[in-house]
Amino acid sequence: MTLEFVTLAFDGPVALVTIDRPKALNALNAQVLQELDQALGLAAAHADTRALILTGEGGKAFVAGADIAEMAQYTPAQALAFSAKGHQVMARLEALPFPTIAAVNGFALGGGLELALACDLLYASEKAKLGLPEVSLAVIPGFGGTQRLMRAVGKLRARELIFTGEAIDAAKAKEIGLALEVLPHDALLPRCKEIAHTIATRGPLALSQAKRVIEAGADLPLKDANELERQAFALLFGTDDQKEGMRAFLEKRKAAFKNL
């Protein structure tokens, strides 16, 4: 399948999805969202995928936001449909059965930050700028930003960023817990690949269950969340990978997981 603005490549068990619209700073329009949805589906359908990295082409932007030129003339009905498509893509990214990494290599504003927030891990270039500037355009984040940012950094910090619309640099993003590491620009993607390949050596069924339990448990009372963990822990003892993982540990060798 040929996509115009999104590329999908595989480095062994690691999928690399790149938003490739650098002349528009990788801005998200309806076509880009549709192609991203397709690329994520292809990555999920690839049986050997164990981790995914999402980044932007061109060196200046991860994703600079949604495409204002396209949105400017939207009616409320068109805005609702565009928001629904954005939410669909973010939910698909969030629900992938393997860990995902946002390699934020430049501007991640508006829809770009919302896209990064839908990933499991976020690493930033020292050149990155992150923010939700929608109120400066008299709208609000429409792809889940109000909710995911609040869950990532807390209500007070999310309110500050959303109400002011101001962007923060990578160092500030790390300080408030939005980014895990700040890296030299040229070191960002190699570091993300290193982390992804490390993840890819772990038990894929265990990773999938860990991701599911973390995400679902975050919105549950502690007692219910712990029960979710208990059930998932027990379930994994019925898998071939659990037997292989523990046998490999006892035999002091590298495990050969088969996602079974």
Catalytic (active-site) positions: 114, 134
Which token pair is 242?
């659990």
Which token pair is 80?
């609702």
Beta-sheet pairing, 168-169 with 129-131: antiparallel
Neighbours of 247 (CB within 10 A): 11
3-state DSSP of the chain: CCCCCEEEEEECCEEEEEECCHHHCCCECHHHHHHHHHHHHHHHHCCCCCEEEEEECCCCEEECCECHHHHCCCCHHHHHHHHHHHHHHHHHHHHCCCCEEEEECCEEECHHHHHHHCCCEEEEECCCEEECCHHHHCCCCCCCHHHHHHHHHCHHHHHHHHHHCCCEEHHHHHHCCCCCEEECHHHHHHHHHHHHHHHHCCCHHHHHHHHHHHHHHCCCCHHHHHHHHHHHHHHHCCCHHHHHHHHHHHCCCCCCCCCC
Closest CA to 4 of 26, 120, 15, 227: 26
Neighbours of 181 (CB within 10 A): 15
